[in-house]
């Protein structure tokens, strides 16, 4: 019965995350003109989330589980750095490389979200629910962010919506369901290293891509959008705690 209850909770939150993310993608797709006018604000908001979230949540948790998580974070940062170099070399297009590299990071992050659902609910239902609420809340913004980034990469609105669904929405339940049969074999050290790697990936995306791109076309109140992204992460943090 406990097995059934744990899997049920994981399924509910993983599917809810996918649905909320999809709603965010649909909302921005239906308001494409607004997205074009507000793209830089979305970039700044995304940067605030993706640089503060790992620093205040993922990375501290990673260090608690494994003191060597800093090395994993560095590996994640360097992985994205050299991935971007390789993509730029092959595509010869800065904008396309920007979109692909950023979506690559969100893909890893969304898969990890699913793993986190599985791990936390396996620890206890209360911990899983508190963590799940925080993760589901950020899915709406993540859907908007992914769609906006793909547009920035030069992809059409229709394709951006489809790709965003597969990269950011569908990957969370996939990560959860793949991790579920394996989670009992995962040690805290391994999970800590994985969280550290993801933290490095997301910090790279924010500091090396989103903020420079947004600053290049800086608009009035763009700094406010960045601070709102940080405030959003803090909201999730205090919701979880």
- Give 167-189 pLDDT, tens digit per residue: 889 988 998 888 888 766 767 78
Residue 74 confidence (pLDDT)? 95
Say if residues 21 and 163 touch (Cβ distance below 8 Å): no
pLDDT band at 127 (very low <50, low <70, confident <90, very high): low
Asked whether the CA dihedral 42, 146, 50, 113 is positive or negative, the reply is positive
Asked whether the CA dihedral 226, 227, 230, 232 is positive or negative, the reply is negative
Residue 124 confidence (pLDDT)? 63
Q: Hey, what are 167's tokens?
A: 């990269």
Provide the residue ranges of all domains of the chain, joining segments of one domain with +: 2-240
Entry pTM: 0.66
Residue 165 confidence (pLDDT)? 92
| More confident call, 159 vs 130 | 159
């Amino acid at each position: 019965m406990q097995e059934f209850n744990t899997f049920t909770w994981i399924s509910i939150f993983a599917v809810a995350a996918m649905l909320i993310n999809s709603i965010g993608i649909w909302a921005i797709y239906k308001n494409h003109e607004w997205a074009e006018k507000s793209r830089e604000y979305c970039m700044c908001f995304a940067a605030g989330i993706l640089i503060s979230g790992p620093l205040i949540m993922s990375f501290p948790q990673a260090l608690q589980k494994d003191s060597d998580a800093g090395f994993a974070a560095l590996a994640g940062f360097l992985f994205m750095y050299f991935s971007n170099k390789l993509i730029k070399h092959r595509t010869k297009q800065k904008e396309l490389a920007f979109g692909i590299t950023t979506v690559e990071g969100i893909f890893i992050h969304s898969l990890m979200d699913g793993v986190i659902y599985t791990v936390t609910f396996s620890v206890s239902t209360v911990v899983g629910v508190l963590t799940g609420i925080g993760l589901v809340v950020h899915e709406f913004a993540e859907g908007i962010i992914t769609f906006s980034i793909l547009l920035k990469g030069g992809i059409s609105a229709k394709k951006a919506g489809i790709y965003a669904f597969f990269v950011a929405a569908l990957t969370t339940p996939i990560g959860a369901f793949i991790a579920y049969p394996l989670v009992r074999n995962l040690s805290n050290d391994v999970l800590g290293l994985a969280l550290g790697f993801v933290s490095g990936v997301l910090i790279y995306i924010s500091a090396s891509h989103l903020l420079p791109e947004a600053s290049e076309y800086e608009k009035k109140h763009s700094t406010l959008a960045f601070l709102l992204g940080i405030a959003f992460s803090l909201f999730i943090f205090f919701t979880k705690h």
